[in-house]
Amino acid sequence: MKDPNWKKCLICGDSRDVIKRIPDNSIDFILTDPPYNIGKHSTGNIPLPGRSAMNNDVAPWDWVDFHPEEWVDEFIRILKPTGNLFIFTTYNQIGKWYDCLDHRFDASNFMVWHKTNPAPKIFQAGFLNSCEMVFTCWNKKHTWNFISQKEMHNFIESPICMKPERLSDPKHPAQKPVSILKKMIQMASNPNDIIFDPFMGVGSTGVAALEMGRKFIGVELEKNYYQAARIRIDNMKTQENSSAGVLREPAIAYGIERTLFDIDDIFGEENPIPQTISTLPEDSLQPIIKWAGGKEKELKYIIPNAPEYNNYYEPFVGGGSVYAALRAEHYYINDLSSELISLYQNIAGQNMVFFQFADAVDKSWQNAHSFFLFNGGEIIEQYLAYRENQISKEDIKSYVSEFCKRNQKGIDAIIEPILTYDQSTLFSEMKKNLCRKLTRMKDLEMQKHLLPEEDLNDNIETAIKSALYMTFRAEYNRRAKECINDEYYCALFLFIRNYCYSGMFRYNDNGEFNVPYGGIAYNGKSMLKKLNFYRSKPLAQKFKDTTIYNLDFEEFLNKANPTEDDFVFLDPPYDSEFSTYAQNEFTRADQERLANYMIHKCKAKWMMIIKNTDFIYSLYNQPGISIKTFDKEYLVSFMNRNDKKVTHLMITNY
């Protein structure tokens, strides 16, 4: 039953799940600050000598695609007819919000928050980022508290959030001043109205709502921000006695006076709200890892053509796109790559040591970005002098050498302390990559055209991140000669899979991985989303119902022994001259062995997706075996074995 005495509801979880538990027409005011998608367009937080970095409202989530159209239906459903919707946004997103919402409300407008102390601009060749937009919309008879003509301009001016209001631990890059939030709440809601913020951060909207006598529901995905919001909101009455920017445990003991309520208490829902991060519906799980030849794009052919079955078997699981997409009573997966199976096992067992190393690798990647922000301006200044022939090629090489020596500590600090590595490698790679990039850039500019400032920035950041990539690649290759921590090695394997050029996995004659960094397009990538997915509840449930093997395919099938009520999906290495599969050869003899087993020994229903060659077709052109072909647009029966346009085969025994 709904509790009329509730004031605040704070949830650590995914808003996409929580919002589905909120009834129709129940929220008075949605006031929120979602991701802006500005990571690729922004200089990010700006380091300043002798002081902490100048906040520029950029965070890891701003590198992740955010699509307004995925949220508007739920926003509209839960909003009361008298409600208002205010969304902080920026230039690259406001048009998307307008396209999604304008035609669905009677009125839409925007506000501008002018920051009187914006972050400085390193290159003084454009406007400061001193304005932030707020997209607003409502229907007729909406709640509106008109104060006075002077106070109702769609323009709010204030400094960005600074101490003592701004938290220092954790520091949220987009924390909004409570003063401007209170003004919006005063305009667009009444006392005891319900304010909802699905991207709560450290809880500023909640603080403003409660100070204005409203009720508040806030959701936050990141646990550290959620905890900060919870403590901050519970400390509201006593925070003036706290040290500036420091959070303390709630002054009110929960056993004496209940202050925090759940959705159940508010709306009387029967089902509990998910309390874990990154929850996803099981039928939309993403692949486990990027893998050459992954079948994610072919799922539109595979799923409709799968038979009815009880258990699922996959001898060549690879990146796991089919395994992740299908449902079964139990799953049996296998791969001959010990590195890949180690990753699966670490995720399945929620190995905290692995996650510590993986988080540290990802944090090192973000540290490389910070190093670029702090030093990029200086490097480009020297490059411009080189480009204009004010200094020679030898001078620019000398500058890079001097720069690296002068910034030795900063270079060493890029890689997190938990990660052991040869410091001389990172130093050497930094020097080599910067020299190569600067000289190469001038050659290209002289041959073609001068690059804009944004491209110069991208190239310098690429050189810095390539140096880090090459260092981690060297550590990965060191495993062949020295024994390094298994979990650390697995984290490096995951990193390289995400950042190597085109996802290629190629080894030289010495058994060393030798694919270079992916380049500019990879600069903005982050493993954070993938690591959160690895910790998610649906994936944990999937692995709970999964048995993992690291065997030859025939040994796996003999041991797992699928029955006639089961389904085996096969995505073996292709028949080609490049037959090495994750350092394991898969020869034509192996193809013949596989065909013989599946046709003559396997009791289960099975499907194989494989590239067509005359050799493969000849193996499976047998009685009782169905062969179809699919291209990008269609799936048809294979009638003409001489059709050279055929690219892939779908082979089944049913």
- 116-175 pLDDT, tens digit each: 888 776 667 778 878 889 999 999 889 999 877 877 888 888 888 887 888 877 888 888
Strands 155-158 and 567-570 turn out to be unpaired
User: What's the pLDDT score for residue 306?
Assistant: 95
Architecture category of domain 283-349+535-652 in CATH: 3-Layer(aba) Sandwich (3.40)
Identical fold, 8-267 and 283-349+535-652: yes
Query: 250, 266, 124: which is closest to 195 by C-alpha?
Result: 266
pTM over the 0.85 mark? no
Query: 569, 573, 613: which is closest to 593 by C-alpha?
Result: 573
Cα separation, 467 vs 464, in Å, equals 5
Show the DSSP H helices in 19-70 as ranges.
none
The one-character DSSP state at 276 is S
User: What's the pLDDT score for residue 484?
Assistant: 74
Cα separation, 488 vs 418, in Å, equals 10
User: What's the pLDDT score for residue 270?
Assistant: 41
User: What's the pLDDT score for residue 277?
Assistant: 32
User: What's the pLDDT score for residue 148?
Assistant: 79
Q: Which residues pair with 606 in a beta bridge?
A: 568
CB-based contact 495:527 (threshold 8 Å): yes
Query: 59, 172, 155: which is closest to 110 by C-alpha?
Result: 155
User: What's the pLDDT score for residue 250?
Assistant: 38
User: What's the pLDDT score for residue 47?
Assistant: 57
Q: Which residues pair with 215 in a beta bridge?
A: 194
Cα separation, 595 vs 525, in Å, equals 40
Structure tokens at 6: 């509730």
Q: Delimit the domains of the chain by residue range.
A: 8-267, 283-349+535-652, 352-525
User: What's the pLDDT score for residue 58?
Assistant: 52
Structure tokens at 291: 């893998």
User: What's the pLDDT score for residue 546?
Assistant: 98
Choices 3.40.50.150, 1.10.600.10, 3.40.630.10, 1.10.260.40: CATH for 8-267: 3.40.50.150
Query: How many helices, marked H, and strands, marked E, lie in the chain?
Result: 21, 20
Cα separation, 255 vs 164, in Å, equals 30
User: What's the pLDDT score for residue 46?
Assistant: 56
Q: Which residues pair with 648 in a beta bridge?
A: 611, 630
Low-confidence ranges of the chain (pLDDT < 70): 1-3, 37-65, 121-123, 237-260, 262, 264-265, 268-284, 480-481, 483, 576-584, 631-646
